[in-house]
Structure 1
């Protein structure tokens, strides 16, 4: 039986992972949490949390489900305790790419991150359709990277990632650098920022007197078809007028050379902003 020490088990990500580990009796999981709110959340699930790090010494896998700003200091305490040959499993590429994770040559280091269910994901029930984060009932794909260690380390980390993020559609093996190109660069620096601007525009439209329900349905409906066209979910195009107006708008909304956010030097600056307090 694989022994897992889940650090931060009562946090935002930790709780989601804990829920899925309850469905996987093949793992012997110790749920480590020091915050009372997290301990209470685990207790609601029938999980008795521990505030000590004793389980780290015997664990085959230590999962660091803790905030990016804290993961460096926490790893400095925990990784020296780990047994040789064990796996350090992190959930985000920022701290590993920024060199914030304590390193030992006799350990494996795997990073696994969920893609979250696609907006075009078909689910048979309303509840599954509304599992926006994934890990409950909606299928999602995941990306997994081996930062250091052996192929056996990777295979163990991938298997655990598939179980803790289940149900899984596809598993993509990529590099640490490629994962950082995806997040933060693509989905946070670019996509989330653009969506925040769209939301600001929506708020402005409502402030100008457009009925909120009409504005919401209008923008969300158009976003769906726009994404479907751009990502080839449908065999269609935009109108000539729409292409003309987007061509006019792009230099107004975006600085020249904005694509530098995908250069590794810029990505390293992005992850440094994430990992530093």
Structure 2
């Protein structure tokens, strides 16, 4: 008996993220995928993969799943155009929690909404090949975990969405279920607003050390090595390992000098809402 494929439409198939998804979907035996792209640059990228765009009216109405691989600022306009074309019972899939949490999704109680986001390959990954080792973003060769959330729809659609997420972000080693609100805590609050700011400050600190006359090579090598061991100590990669007493004292001095009291408020719902509004305008 012939295998029934799931019909997928990928919106933004030639974009920076869409191109990665197109590459992972185009030969998957479980999905029959159509591709939507409006930019000439995107269409040229797709041609490199021997994939060509389809007209929306030909593919969206028959799709079981429509993936919206478009920038956050465009989600509202794009879903306003395509969600009304989706068939009853279809799934609208999003790659980021920002637009759903900002209320930018078109109202359709008769379809499902699902979100999945990559964790990106861990700094603690061991990869056997050079291609995988240098796949920092993920979705090509390096292993990574993902987080998934069913925003609305029947429980069975979680598994359907998760199965597709494992393909578009593959190779996936672990899929973790969260709510869309928890995904908003992870991104933008934790990964960008907090961690992105922290890592940017680390780079600024390195720049200061170079300005003080320390050779740049020494600064970078010293810092990258210390980042590695300090992450390993803090994230349970070295059982029983801990900072020295001197390092603990230095860390406390640094915290008092660098951080404002009450920084934890960036994880509160109102703060997350304002962060999302800022990045989706």
Match of 2:95 among 91, 95, 102: 91
Please tell me whether residue 163 in structure 1 is matched to residue 173 in structure 2.
Answer: no
Q: Secondary structure at the match of 1:110?
A: strand
Report the equivalent of 2:155. 151
Distance in 2 (alpha carbons) for counterparts of 1:245 and 1:66: 44
* Deviation at residue 238 of structure 1 after TM alignment: 1.5
* Deviation at residue 80 of structure 1 after TM alignment: 0.5
Report the equivalent of 1:253. 258
Contact persistence 1:109–1:146 (CA under 8 A): yes
Q: Secondary structure at the match of 2:272?
A: helix
Match of 1:78 among 49, 68, 82: 82
Report the equivalent of 2:7. 3
Report the equivalent of 1:179. 183
Distance in 2 (alpha carbons) for counterparts of 1:197 and 1:114: 24
- Counting only pairs closer than 5 Å after superposition, residues 96-135 of structure 1 correspond to structure 2 as 96-135=100-139
* Deviation at residue 49 of structure 1 after TM alignment: 2.1
Please tell me whether residue 24 in structure 1 is matched to residue 28 in structure 2.
Answer: yes
Q: 1:193 to 1:201 in 2, by over 3 A?
A: same
Please tell me whether residue 270 in structure 1 is matched to residue 272 in structure 2.
Answer: no
Contact persistence 1:34–1:50 (CA under 8 A): no
Report the equivalent of 1:217. 221
* Deviation at residue 107 of structure 1 after TM alignment: 0.2
- Counting only pairs closer than 5 Å after superposition, residues 37-76 of structure 1 correspond to structure 2 as 37-50=41-54, 52-76=56-80
Can you give the 5+ residue segments of structure 2 that lack an aligned partner in the other structure?
Answer: none
TM-score, length of structure 2 as denominator length: 0.95
Contact persistence 1:108–1:154 (CA under 8 A): no
- State the superposition RMSD in angstroms: 1.1
Can you give the 5+ residue segments of structure 1 that lack an aligned partner in the other structure?
Answer: none
Report how many aligned residue pairs link the two structures.
276
